Amino acid sequence: MTNPPATQHSYPYQNQPIWSKSEKVIARTAFDAALGRELHEVIQEAKRMASQIQQSSDLWDLEHYLTQRRKEIDRKYDYRYSRLTHVFARLLYEKRLREEELHGLREDKLTPIRSFAKFLAEDAA
């Protein structure tokens, strides 16, 4: 007898889609790619800011920028299956992810992802 794995499936939410094994691979790949691009962007900006530091206020501006970006990235890249449709929606809306990168996910994920991305776009307009 084995215990069931302690995943999000142990406590299903209402309407919570189940992610298949192949979908999890697609999700992880897309997630990591977007995160990698965003980190690359922050690295480039930090190098640019550092190269232009002339006085102490520039130094603390760089610190503030890094702290803000770290907190934002920590909040945004939340790899829980219960959060993933919202995460991908935001990444699509921010153009940090192309919809092709989610190719292979089933409609029960793609529909809420597109729908929330559309909501974010309309909300910002």
Please give the Cα distance from 28 to 69 (Å, whole number): 21
Q: With binding defined as CB under 8 A, does residue 51 bind its own copies?
A: yes
Q: What is the DSSP secondary-structure string of 49-87?
A: HHHT--SHHHHHHHHHHHHHHHHHHHHH----TTTHHHH
Please list the residues that pair with 103 across neighbouring strands. 105
Residue with tokens 């991305």: 117
Q: 87 near 31, Cβ under 8 Å?
A: yes
Please say which residue, 47 or 106, places its beta carbon nearer to its own copies: 47
Q: With binding defined as CB under 8 A, does residue 63 bind its own copies?
A: yes
Among 14, 56, 75, 123, binds its own copies (CB under 8 A): 56
Please say which residue, 38 or 101, places its beta carbon nearer to its own copies: 38
3-state class (DSSP) for residue 94: coil
Min dist CB 91 to its own copies, Å, is: 17
Among 18, 25, 43, 121, binds its own copies (CB under 8 A): 43
Q: With binding defined as CB under 8 A, does residue 47 bind its own copies?
A: yes
Binding region for its own copies (CB under 8 A): 39, 42-43, 46-47, 49-51, 53, 55-56, 58-60, 62-63, 66-67, 70
